[in-house]
Structure 1
Amino acid sequence: MLHRFLYALFLIAASAASISASAQNTPKSVVTTPQVRAELLAHAPQGVVPGQPVWVGLQITHQPEWHTYWKNSGDSGLPTVLQWTLPAGVTAGDIAWPLPRKIPIGNLANYGYEGTVLLPVPLSISPDFKPSLLASELEVKLHAVWLVCRKECIPEEGDFTLKVPVKSTTALNGAAFDASLAAQPQPLAARSKIEVQGAELQLTVADLPAALRGKTLELFPETPEITAPAVDIRQSWTGPTWTATATLTAMRSQSPAQMPLVLVAEQDGQRQGYRTEADVRGSWPQAVAAPTITPALEAALRANSSAAQIPAAPSLSWAAALLGALLGGLILNLMPCVFPVLAIKLMGFAQHAGDRRAHRVDGLAYSAGAIASFLALGALMLGLRAAGEQLGWGFQLQSPVVVAALAVLFTVVGLNLAGLFEFGQFLPSRLATLQARNPALNAFLSGVLAVAVASPCTAPFMGASLGLAVGLPAAQALPIFAVMGLGMALPYLAASLSPGLARLLPRPGAWMATFRQLMAFPMFATVAWLVWVLGQQSGIDGAGSLLVLLVAVAAVLWALGLAGRTRLVAATLSIAAIVGVISAAGPNIIKNAPPANAVAAGERWQPWEPGRVEQTLATGQPVMVDFTAAWCVTCQYNKKTTLSNTAVLADLDAKNVQLLRADWTRRDPAITAALGQLGRNGVPVYVLYKAGSAPQVLSEVLNVDDLRAAIAKL
């Protein structure tokens, strides 16, 4: 019966939730943002012992068109900074910077990295390093700060932790470190010289390798703010001596006596670098003072800044937040994401038709389950945010593990409702007779299951309350979550306490078996949606692997429902099969696949990025942002209806509105922060921006007429 598999699956779900929560607190070696993927790597081929090479490094993989910076960033930018926390007896050296590239940006040029780059750092192990016998590992902690730029620049940072075995070798990343170290510039024995000649520098480098002679070299001064990176150097060869003329930058801030230089040339299709120390001769010209900002210019800059600034969203009082939470939880019952749980509610009503006491117990237990689940989710989210995680409402469905677990859960629910198996066939008798001793447990777990499906959605009035709750102390925030649970349970609670309702219900009978089988289909529809959500997170391989896993789960349940020797053979084979499926397909399910391009060229909606709204508003163009996620059914409903309405699209075109879509399917701290600035903490959120005006946050359930009226005011 329904209560039996709900109890067993509640234990499974609780285990999965605890595993997921503990995973949030495990040391992280990877930080992913919309612009880069940063990973802390280690290379200790002889183990961690004094006198042997031990390397660590931050590997940054950039999205197309994005870049970070070398030690001399060029005309703009900042180099990546690595701050290490190491045990006693271990010290970190300087970054062994690989060869940079010149990256033209309009009339300027930067020195930096695109694609994938590894910034290796040597570790010195002294005899004072004494790891404990119980944990013979070197714990490396890194706080990294980098500036990633395209046309706009975004400062980012991350905290990384890596444990390197002391006695065993760590050489998995050897190829990456070898390639990065091979990209280091080779030192030149002969010193070089620089002559300061007015606004130019005359460089002379002698005794360069014969393979370089006659080649065109790239120049990268390690000292910043000396030369103008965007101005090409003039160079020539006289035998083995290379000379070049570089232009001083108008913003020169230093007058060094020595300048390290890196020269790069193409050799056999590869870039090869050489490093030399150049003595500076001659007198430096007077450095140009910083430009003076006149009062008129300062006033213009201030006006420009205020025009592009987005006013903060209005605050909400705690009492109003409680009322919004109650109304939002109440309306949540009408959201499309809650429909599958109606099957469980209707089954409960039908089972207790005519039994008023059973109705009351059922309603109270269901309400307790809903309230407890909202409290648990709220407490977990607040705890993880306090630990530094950038999370929002619905964060659990940003994890492929949780999505896959829910898909398994609803598959089992659907198969049980369809009559494939009964839990009483293979559960211990204590569990099989649990409902007879405690009939309220079924209703309580129904409330838990309802919240599990409904929680990713944000109903009207609920968004502002969530936005306030995440910024309050736990003593004030948790009552808001509890009231949301009460609001969601309120219709069912009121119906269970109403004496007149029982007279409207049909009497129990044979029709209930057919009704139970019919209710399996909403569960399978939920599974189809969850598989699609996982496909957005883990790619087509992840979705396909999950389908294989669900088939294997169905086979195990079918086999356990057999009798006699056939059951033993079939169950053994099916369990072995599911173990093989988990081993082979599990990594495909839980991985986060590289994000696909959000939109194709020429489409109306463009991907949201930090700072893009402000840049667009500065040109006078209005903006609409759709904060959405694949796991939010309400988001998908609005997208297919109101946001696809021809009249709405015509109004947007007429007002020349820039359309941006912020996809929160995967965890994205930048989107979480943007929602927080709007006083929201979940999706869907729809916002209209107009220069000089406060952002207009629309209803979570979009209406064509209301949206068109809002667009007309832009």
Structure 2
Amino acid sequence: MNMSRLLAAVGLALAALPTLGQTVVTTERVRAELLAHAPDGVEPGRKVWVGLQLAHQPEWHTYWKNSGDSGLPTELTWTLPAGVQAGDIAWPVPKKIPIGNLANYGYEGTVLLPVPLTITEAFQPSPLSAHVDIKLQANWLVCKKECIPEQGEFTLKLPARSTTALHAQAFEAAWAAQPKPIAQGLAGVRPESTARIDGDALVVSVQQLPVALRGKTLAFYPETGEVIDNGARWTQAWNGAEWTARIPLSPQRSASPAVMPVVLAQGGEGWRAELKVLGAWPQAAQAATVSPALAEALRENAAVPAAPAGIGFWAALLGALLGGLILNLMPCVFPVLAIKVVGFTRHADDRRGHRIGGLAYTAGVVASFALLGGVMLALRAAGEQLGWGFQLQSPAVVASLAALFTLIALNLAGVFEFRSLLPSSVATLQAKHPVLDAFLTGVLAVAIASPCTAPFMGASLGLAISLPPAQALAIFLVLGLGMALPYLAASWIPAFARWLPRPGPWMETFRRLMAFPMFATVAWLVWVLGQQSGIDGAGALLALLVALSMVVWALTLRGRARAVLASVAVLGLVGLAWSAGGAIVRVPAAASAASVDGRWQAWAPGRVDQLLAEGKPVFVDFTAAWCVTCQYNKKTTLSRPDVLADFDAGRFVLLRADWTRRDPAITAALAQLGRNGVPVYVVYRQGRAPVVLSEVLGVQEVRAAISPL
């Protein structure tokens, strides 16, 4: 074979393979891959198979179409070209996964969930593309002892004019694992398979099973959930060709089907029968739509007379005003206070400048809070779940703030002047418009300080997110006004001027002193990033800040040294940003900070209800690395030996919900509690309403809440 023929053969072979978009999503627990099988090509009248293959880490599992007593089945949502229709998942036979006295149905190891795609006559392949675009949004719940919701977006480009059979073996194995249909009997001709209701049990009779199964023990999997007691013991027997079983009904049964599809399995093979239900179902329990703990809380709340809506809104406004005032005392706001104090001392004799600057600062603060509130409300309208302080849940935002505060600290320390680094026209503009400086200082104050508001007005913010847009924005505006009010009053009240020190040489020393709170803020932001992206991310950010400082220093030089060193420094900064940027935004493979302490376990959806069902009381700490109040409470209260001893004495399970990075499940849990930010501390006991503690914890408050009643 000559070279041209060889290249042609290779080209044809490659054309027959699907072009990969993002076909694989890997987490710590599951490797998910989108596979395709089109042995007859993608043409009208033909059937194409696609499927999601889930490869589980040891001891982890996902769920069948009926997950059993807990869990959720995997959901697949397809985006397909016109004329292509997706069928249902062809579920393979599951296995029973016992959990104490409960039981789930699911998959361990590697499983492929195949889905047929029907190519109708309406399908018209694009003349501009040789491929058919297949997109999948998949959601699955993966569990071991804890359960973690995961998701992935997949894209696959199938060749439109050739066959694809690369994964034929995987699909053939999946088809072999599907239950085979059992022929249903005809009344008066041959026996039917039935499920007869006998008190609190189902008496099942299945006909037409293969002869090779007679005498063997079979597994029983109902496709309809919340009918049988999945974890109960039950009996089965063979009566000639008839297989019979007596299976207890669930005490919480919520379904009453007339026909019950079930799967019987033995040795990895399965057979599917549709059982005709005989007799009248006993009264079913009401389907549970909320957790038992939340249901108890709702029952207790229903017994309390509702307060008028207007009182709640006005109380929220008052809370917002007070929260904004108190915010000026928070440690995360102190660096911005330093900028304002330096500005006041520089212009102590300029009353007009004071007033204009106070108004501009107030406008910057109020406008920024309005913008943050507007963004949250817009995302709420779009269906997003977002909590207060969301900007610091992004590693990129944290890194950007660290860089900004490094520049401010270097400026306050006297390393450089901003006007020396700017073109003369821009520097002149900045000098002529100090109002803009005051406005931007207000914007900066909100960017770094807004997460600190939640401890003092979590209830008000939680209410704001549920109010109509106009009322919600009013709360955000009043919050901004409260934060800016001290500076606004100081700029307009003449008596305040007498308390300001007179300008003098001491101001330059004071300015350099104020650089250190800025550097302290940078250290805190690097620590926050380390919680989000791991030690490699924190190290990468530190290296970038050093490179940024070198660029600033090089730009202060003169002549040839400036040209050479500044060029080298800028190139080094760009190269470092290119290579280290991934480490900053990457999610670390290690467990979150919430599980570092051996006493504390990571919170997960459903974990509280599971522990309460086992009779264990639970204490949950909703926290985040960027929340200063959270860290203060952790050091001063939650780590005290006497508090920990009380937790041990009460046999409390301690859960920590780490909200450092965005987590929709935690956001939803906070919303259920009427909160929209952290910290939040909750005590759960079986059969009692959850107790939400105050945001600034006291030792006696915690000990009283967890003491035996």
TM band (smaller chain): 0.7 to 0.9
Tell me the distance in 1 between the aligned counterparts of 2:292 and 2:576.
62
Report the equivalent of 2:188.
none
The separation in 1 between residues aligned to 2:242 and 2:590, in whole angstroms, is 44
1:110-144 superposed Cα distances (whole Å, 9 cap, x missing partner): 43124775534354556744578999996766676
Distance in 2, Cα, partners of 1:226 & 1:623: 29
Q: CA deviation at 1:221?
A: 7.0
Structure 1 position 104, deviation (Å): 2.5
Aligned to 2:107: 113
2:637 is the counterpart of 1:642: yes
Aligned partner of 1:508 among 503, 508, 527: 503
Alignment of 1:206-605 (within 5 A): 249-250=247-248, 290=281, 311-312=300-301, 317-458=312-453, 461-594=456-589, 596=591, 603-605=598-600
Provide the C-alpha distance between the structure 2 equivalents of 1:528 and 1:486, rounded to a whole number of angstroms. Answer: 29
Give the drift of 1:254.
9.3
Q: Is 2:80 the counterpart of 1:90?
A: no
For 1:323, the aligned partner's letter is L
Contact 2:223 2:260 in 1 (8 A): no
Letter in 1 for 2:497: A
For residues 19-72 of structure 1, what are the alpha-carbon distances to aligned partners after superposition, in whole Å with 9 as ceiling and x for unaligned? xxxxxxxxx999999x988978576999x9648997655566879866332246
Sort the Cα spacing of 1:628 and 1:311 in 2 relative to 1 into closer, same or farther, 3 A: farther
Whether the 8 Å contact between 1:634 and 1:701 is mirrored in structure 2 is yes
Task: Give the whole-Å Cα distance in 1 for the aligned partners of 2:262 and 2:465.
Answer: 52
User: Displacement of 1:327 after TM fit?
Assistant: 0.4
Specify the SS of the correspondent of 1:534: helix
Query: Structure 1 pair 635/234, CA: closer, same or farther in 2 (3 Å)?
Result: same
**Quick check: 2:33–2:54 contact (8 Å CA) kept in 1?**
no
Deviation digits for residues 60-117 of structure 1 (CA, Å, limit 9, x no counterpart): 6879866332246568766434343434122224435467444223356543124775
2:184 is aligned with 1:184: no
Query: Residues 337 and 116 (structure 1 numbering): CA distance in 2 closer, same or farther, change over 3 Å?
Result: farther
Q: CA RMSD in A?
A: 5.2
Distance 2:565 2:168 in 1: 51
SS at match of 2:522: helix
Following TM superposition, by how much is the alpha carbon of 1:328 offset from its aligned partner in structure 2, in angstroms? Answer: 0.7
Whole-angstrom distance in 2 between the partners of 1:278 and 1:407: 61
Choose the corresponding residue for 1:685, options 664, 680, 684: 680
Conservation of the 8 A alpha-carbon contact between 2:650 and 2:708: no
Aligned residue for 1:686, secondary structure, equals strand
- CA–CA distance in 2 between the matches of 1:188 and 1:707? 53
Measured after TM superposition, the shift of residue 440 of structure 1 is: 1.1
Structure 2 counterparts to residues 68-217 of structure 1, below 5 A: 68-71=62-65, 73=67, 79-95=73-89, 97=91, 100-106=94-100, 109-114=103-108, 119-125=113-119, 128-129=122-123, 181=171, 183-186=173-176
User: In the aligned structure 2, how far is the partner of 1:356 from the partner of 1:699?
Assistant: 42
**354-363 vs 184-193, greater mean Cα deviation:** 184-193
Q: Which ranges in structure 2 are unaligned for 5 or more consecutive residues?
A: 1-21, 185-190, 195-202, 251-255
Instruction: Kindly indicate whether the alpha-carbon contact (under 8 Å) linking 2:529 and 2:538 is maintained by their aligned counterparts in 1.
Output: yes
Structure 1 residue runs without a partner (length 5+): 1-27, 209-215, 236-242, 265-272
The verdict on how the C-alpha distance between 1:529 and 1:153 changes in structure 2, with shifts beyond 3 A counting, is: closer
Given that residues 605 and 660 in structure 1 are in contact (C-alpha distance below 8 angstroms), is that contact kept between their aligned partners in structure 2?
yes
8 A contact 2:388–2:454 mirrored in 1: no
Question: TM-score scaled to structure 2, two decimals?
Answer: 0.75
CA distance in 1 between counterparts of 2:293 and 2:584 reads 48
Structure-2 change in CA distance of 1:694 and 1:656 (3 Å): same
Q: Structure 1 333/697 Cα, relative in aligned 2: closer, same or farther at 3 Å?
A: farther
> Identical aligned pairs, as a percentage?
59
Distance 1:373 1:354 in 2: 29
For 1:131 and 1:582, how far apart are their aligned partners in 2?
Answer: 43
Do 2:368 and 2:443's aligned partners in 1 also have CA atoms closer than 8 Å? yes
3-state DSSP of counterpart to 1:701:
coil
The aligned counterpart of 1:632 is 627
- TM-score after normalising by structure 1: 0.74
1:416 CA drift (Å): 2.2
- SS of the aligned residue for 2:64 comes to strand
Measure how far apart 1:366 and its partner are: 1.1
| Aligned match for 1:675, one of 670, 682, 686 | 670
> Which SS does the other structure have where 2:541 is aligned?
helix
Structure 2: how far apart are the matches of 1:411 and 1:404?
11
Alpha-carbon offset, residue 646 of structure 1: 3.7
How many Å apart are 1:401 and its aligned residue?
1.7
Could you tell me how far apart the structure 2 residues matched to 1:166 and 1:127 are?
18
CA deviation after TM superposition for structure 1 residue 411, in Å = 1.8
- TM-superposed deviation, 1:488: 0.8
Of structures 1 and 2, the one scoring higher in RCO (CA 8 A, sep 6+) is 1
1:643, distance to aligned residue in structure 2 (A): 2.3
- The structural deviation recorded for 1:462 is 1.4
Alpha-carbon distance between aligned partners in 2 of 1:532 and 1:707, rounded to the nearest angstrom: 27
Deviations along 1:470-506, one digit per CA (max 9) or x if unpaired, are: 0111111101001001111111222222223323323
The 3-state SS of whatever aligns with 1:456 is helix
State the distance in 1 between where 2:393 and 2:55 align: 22
Instruction: Report the CA distance shift for 1:192/1:614 in structure 2 as closer, same or farther (over 3 A).
Output: closer
Q: Structure 2 CA distance, aligned partners of 1:124 and 1:259? A: 26
Tell me the distance in 1 between the aligned counterparts of 2:409 and 2:159.
Answer: 51
Q: What CA deviation, in whole Å up to 9, does each residue of 1:175-207 have, x standing for no partner?
A: 9x7895475254899999999999787997699
Q: CA deviation at 1:363?
A: 1.5
**Is the Cα–Cα contact under 8 Å of residues 261 and 272 in structure 2 kept in the other structure?**
yes
Amino acid at match of 2:566: A
Whether the 8 Å CA contact 1:199–1:285 is kept in 2: the answer is no
Distance 1:412 1:116, change over 3 A: farther
Counterpart of 2:253 in structure 1 is none
SS for the counterpart of 1:683 is: coil
**Aligned letter for 1:184?**
A
Amino acid across the alignment from 2:64: W
Aligned length: 652
Residue 332 of structure 2 aligns with an amino acid whose one-letter code is: C
